Amino acid sequence: MTAIAEKKFRNDFTQQFEGDESGDRTPRQTPGKLYSKAIPTPVAAPKLLAWSKNLAEELGIADPSTEDVQILAGNKITASMNPYAACYAGHQFGNWAGQLGDGRAITLGEWGVKNGIFELQLKGAGPTAYSRHADGRAVLRSSVREYLMSEAMHHLGVPTTRALALVETGDKVLRDMFYNGNPEYEPGAIVSRVAPSFLRFGNFELLAAQGDKEKMKQLIDWTIDRYFPHLTEEDRILTWFQEVVDKTAFLMTEWQRVGFVHGVMNTDNMSILGLTIDYGPFSFLDHYDHNFTPNTTDLPGRRYAFGNQPSIGYWNLGRLANAISLLFDDTEGLENALDSYEKIFWDYYYEMMAKKLGFQPPGKEEKKIIARFEAVLSSIQPDMTLFYRLLAEIPSETVPETLLNHFAPSLYRDLQPKEQDELVALLTDYSKMTKNDGLSEEARKNLMNQTNPRIILRNYLLHEAIEELERGENKLFVRLQEAMKQPYATDGFEDFVKKRPEWAETKAGCSMLSCSS
């Protein structure tokens, strides 16, 4: 194990591509540059609030020293670091936004371990050339959310960037939480993010908008050589895009599996590696609702609602295809790869849903009952997480009263007689199917409980943990870190295995959130 201060960092991106090395933080356009040098701005009194020991061990990093905390706070950089902010563009809420870039994320460098190369990035470490009208800082509430959710998603098995550390800065940050003209000072914080790469669809969109074929080819070749080295054929750019399509479809399926709603699926928030990236106004589903969006900015259109995420994944891939078509005289191959998304997604989806229901690989009848579950759950809107865990324990007796009582803990309201009948009919047919598909009861239960989490990071729990931290307490915050490491466990943390309380249904920061962070 090596201390961060003693790590020998690499700087492949800044060595490979043209950037602005001036270090000027003045917000501006940087045509022809893929990054700008960005030195973190020091903070007053850094304090380590959280450290992901699991991730640190994977990366070969020792527990942080006082000097390491100064690095994680942006107060110190080492000789081998060349901090930078990446330049990229993107479509936001369906509209072209032009140049964007890392407005408050600063990449310190990277290092290699046995399972790959990882970049270390500070989010909230001060302004960069791409901060526009913002201050480059982050508040405690959004930083706590990103830290906990990054690690929670990892332990759920969902592809994601990771969080190594959370540091409170000792400085106050002015934020208008709901953009209603009432800004307040909040505690500042910095999240240390880790990923093999933070490359986004928007990195490629930027070069397409500039019509720069040479840099586009250079960036794609570098991306393939570094992250897709198995692609060696002559038409590897097309094959690479096909893999990005596949990874994106898989990610969308994984979000559906655990009930995750990203909230801001702009193309600049889409990872080229198929990772969940940029945790903002996200949420897990409480009651099952395809129309749910946690982001106030996404109202009233609900473009990024839970049920729309797979189609938005396709739309975003279309923007990426359009960008890299700069290198193609004939775009038929790109179009075919893009069109393959629908089949790939549904194949992943049915395979995933079969596991949620405890089936072997799905056939025609399994797909029919999957569709029925979708329809009934959309109607009765139970707590998604609780419902599927209860399904693994479905009573052998399919007596209506027994079934309804069994699933009652997952319901947010009393069901109408017709809804009760539909649920009972579905569960009865499901129970019959499970007795005839050759999978033992124990094997089925294990499959379901390894697919359907028992514990998720609900927004009301995050809200309570943030309020505690702002009071100088951390008991719930520490417990949540431990609970998120074992989301599929069959026992423990019983107080987290319950429906969203009534008070949280309409409370700001629990049901709806803004992009303010």
Q: Which residues are catalytic?
A: 268
Diameter of the chain measured on Cα atoms: 73
Q: Is 101 annotated as a binding residue?
A: yes
Tokens 């508040």 -> residue: 139
Six-digit token string for 424: 């009972």
Paired with 295 in beta bridges are 513
Strand 138-139 and strand 35-37: the pairing is unpaired
Q: Is 135 annotated as a binding residue?
A: yes
Q: Is 278 annotated as a binding residue?
A: yes
Closest among 221, 205, 123 to 169, alpha carbons compared: 123
Grouping H, G, I as helix, E, B as strand and the rest as coil, residue 222 is helix
For residue 50, which phi and psi values (nearest 5 degrees)?
-155, 150
User: Helix, strand, coil proportions of the chain in percent (round to 5)?
Assistant: 45, 15, 40
Six-digit token string for 267: 């193309």
Question: What contacts 143, CB < 8 A, 6 or more positions away?
Answer: 123, 124, 166, 189, 190, 191, 517
Q: In the 8-state DSSP scheme, what is residue 121? A: E
Q: Is 491 annotated as a binding residue?
A: no
8 Å CB contact between 259 and 294: no
Angstrom distances, CA of residue 476 to CA of 4, 313, 464, 481, 482: 28, 34, 8, 9, 10
Q: Is 123 annotated as a binding residue?
A: yes
- Measured distance CA(321)–CA(238) in Å, rounded: 10
How far from each other are the two terminal CA atoms of the chain, in whole angstroms? 33
8 Å CB contact between 262 and 295: no
Element (H, E) at 191: strand 184-195
Q: In the 8-state DSSP scheme, what is residue 496? A: G
Q: Is 103 annotated as a binding residue?
A: yes
- How many Å separate Cα 410 from the centre of its chain? 25
Q: Quick one: 311 exposed, middle or buried, by C-beta within 10 A (0-12, 13-18, 19+)?
A: middle
Question: What contacts 190, CB < 8 A, 6 or more positions away?
Answer: 43, 46, 72, 73, 74, 122, 123, 124, 125, 138, 143, 166, 167, 169
- Measured distance CA(170)–CA(191) in Å, rounded: 14
Query: In 255-264, which positions are buried (b, 16+ CB within 10 angstroms) versus exposed (e)?
Result: bbbbbbbbbb
- How many Å separate Cα 498 from the centre of its chain? 23
> Binding site: residue ranges?
101, 103-104, 123, 135-136, 193, 200, 269, 278
> Binding site for Mg(2+): residue ranges?
269, 278
> Binding site for ATP: residue ranges?
101, 103-104, 123, 135-136, 193, 200, 278
